[in-house]
Structure formats: structure tokens, C-alpha cells
Structure 1
């Protein structure tokens, strides 16, 4: 694989049960919640992005400009028929697709983290590439806030078998509970805004009025 070999799995297959409506399609500034983090990630140094959605998703939350060449060459979309069974299944759908591309690492991104900065993505990618060059094989490199690992997370190929064992709504956090955190690398960040996710209508109403566009 050319480039840095980091493939991102953009998890956008949640049921938005706590929100009550499809949160990825809700407007936030001049974009939608789902489009905001995707557009930033596409500007980053990540080699390629796989967007994972439910089968019935119309993708109307993705801006049309992201489907134009050359940016369209950097991402693709797959559906996960088992998405309703929980996040682990969506993650595994993306992972299996990514593994066919023989990646050097897999980055997990969430569709409901619209304020995640490109700087965090790029710093994690750069650190992972440096460690890979030095033959230091960490099972994962994660962003951290107040000592807690949070997406984005880059997993090395040695972690793929464990990711494929997750079930139901288990996500990367459950995997951390099975491994020793000290076996991986946590890069601490201090801006809580980067890690805000939008789970409820109260979250959404509280944030949308203060949003400034990424444009």
C-alpha cells in the first residue's frame, strides 16, 4: 500500500436511539453532524477512509462536494447488515473491508464527534508511523482526555484478532479493559471540545447555537 498505510474506519451506523432521530443528518453550522468530522478526516494525512453505515442510510448527510474527484478517491462507503446488533458489528464490517487493503494500521473515528480537530488525527498518524519505522509495535495509539483513551484510536494489525472478537455494543473501550493500557500509547489532549459527542437532543440544542463553521 502506498502512503502511510493508515486506513480509518468512520463509524456512522448507530441507531441514534437516545437522540430519537438520525443525528448524523442534523444540521450543525453549514454542515451536518455526520459530515463535519468526515470532511476534516478527509483533509488529514490518513491514507484512506471507509465509511460504515446501516443498509438503509441514504447518505444525505454527506455533502455533495465529498463525492467529487479527487476527494472521492480517498474514501468509500460500505453498509453493515448487522449494524443493529451493536457497534462491534459495524466496526468489524469496516475492519474486514480494511484488512483486504493490507493496512499498516486502522484508525477508529466516530461519526458523532463533529469537533474533532485535524491536528489530533495528524499527530496520531505521525506518531504511529514513526514508531512503526522504529519497529516499536504498540497494539494501539489513542488520544486521551483526563487519562481516558478516546477516539481517534489507531490499532496495529496485532490487535485485529481481538477487535474481531468484540460483540454487541462493545467498542474499543472494552478492548482496553482486556489489555493493559501501558501496553499501548496514550497521547493526552486538554481541549474537551475535540472529544464531545452528540448523543441526546439536549446535547445538540446546547451546542448548535455556538457552532462556527469549519469552512
Structure 2
């Protein structure tokens, strides 16, 4: 089954104190670049949601990913997610993985397991040691609901409305629940 990844990277990162997307990882790559390259290795297509007018070269993004501008990104994650979901109208994938740009430690085998569990009618949520994580995969049937999101809540409301479609996948990967909010989190 074809699965597209939508990497959300249009946030301000205010708690980080600088543009965390450019923060260097131990291997010398930027945080966002690292997250996007991991996604490119696992998904059929990768689209990256950025604030409108951003310099993608400065972020070190691979040419293989498609950039989706989110003009209302400053109004919250829901707006960025809606912009990304709206961009999927020309996509023939059967599911979308909502990947957060500040979660670079998700392991390749976790991405593979999530893709294997994808279904056009399901929402697949990874869980590590009892804690739900990311990326969450939304089957194509849920895409219209994603395109209607707004505010700063993300896709939580879609998950709540479609509880009967949720498939929880237990994983042995702490990367699904580990993000970067402060410089100390990079260590």
C-alpha cells in the first residue's frame, strides 16, 4: 500500500529559543533534515509543511521532498496540518503518516511496521511503553477531516471522532515519544 509522509515543520519552536529545525544533531545534520531523510527512506513520498516563503535551502532539505507552504502556520498546528492534508488532493496514496519534524529518533523498522499496518479506513497509532506517539497514520477515508483542522490542537479531534478506526501498534522504539523542545533534548 502506498503511504505518503507529511512532515510538519511550520511551528515557531519558541521553547527552543532559536530555529530548532536547523539545530545540529551529533552527525552534523540539521534536526529537520535528519527527520526528513529518515522519512524519505521509509515512505513512497514525503511532503514537508513549512511557513510560507521560507528558504528551503537554508534548512538543508533534500530535493526529493515536496514543500507545502502553510500561510496560516502562525495560528497553530491544526492550520499546518490542514494545509498539508489539502495538498494531498493530487496524491494516490491510501494513507498519510503525520510525522513531526522535531522527532528524529524514530527507527526505520518502526516506520516499516506502521506502513505495513496502514489501511485506507484506519488510523494507526504507535505506542511505546503505554504512551501513544508519532507518527500517526491516517487512512485516506480520514483525509477530509484533516483538511478541515484549525487552531493548535493538531489531529486530536479527528482521533476522538473516529475512535472506532484507531489501531494501536505497540512498538519497541522510544523515538515515537521523544521530541525536541529545548536544546537539552538534543543530548
Regarding TM over 0.5, the answer is yes
Stretch moving more, 170-179 or 148-157: 170-179
Match of 2:136 among 121, 143, 153: 153
Tell me which residue corresponds to 2:45. 48
Tell me which residue corresponds to 1:171. 154
Aligned length: 185
Unpaired runs of 5+ in structure 2?
none
Q: What do the CA deviations read for 1:75-113 (whole angstroms, capped 9, x no partner)? A: 211211111111111111111111222321111101000
Aligned-partner Cα distance in 2 for 1:53–1:24: 11
SS in 2 for 1:103: coil
Aligned-partner Cα distance in 1 for 2:97–2:174: 20
Aligned-partner Cα distance in 2 for 1:99–1:123: 25
Judge conservation of contact 1:24–1:112 (CA < 8 Å) in 2: yes
Aligned-partner Cα distance in 2 for 1:178–1:121: 25
Q: What do the CA deviations read for 1:138-185 (whole angstroms, capped 9, x no partner)? A: 4301211233332111111221232233221111234323332x5311
> Of the two, which has the highest radius of gyration?
1
Judge conservation of contact 1:138–1:184 (CA < 8 Å) in 2: no
Give the superposed CA RMSD: 1.8
What pairs with 1:199-210 in structure 2 (closer than 5 Å)?
A: 199-204=181-186, 207=187
SS in 2 for 1:126: helix
- Displacement of 1:194 after TM fit? 4.2
Alignment TM-score, normalising by the size of structure 2: 0.89
SS in 2 for 1:177: helix
Match of 2:105 among 115, 120, 124: 115
Alignment TM-score, normalising by the size of structure 1: 0.78
Unpaired runs of 5+ in structure 1?
208-215
Aligned-partner Cα distance in 1 for 2:178–2:71: 28
Classify 1:25/1:161 alpha carbon distance in 2 versus 1 (closer, same or farther; 3 Å).
Answer: same
Deviation >3 Å, runs of 4+: none
What pairs with 1:9-158 in structure 2 (closer than 5 Å)?
A: 9-29=6-26, 30-44=28-42, 46-59=43-56, 60-62=58-60, 66-67=62-63, 72=64, 75-128=65-118, 132=119, 138-158=121-141
Classify 1:191/1:120 alpha carbon distance in 2 versus 1 (closer, same or farther; 3 Å).
Answer: closer
Judge conservation of contact 1:143–1:186 (CA < 8 Å) in 2: yes
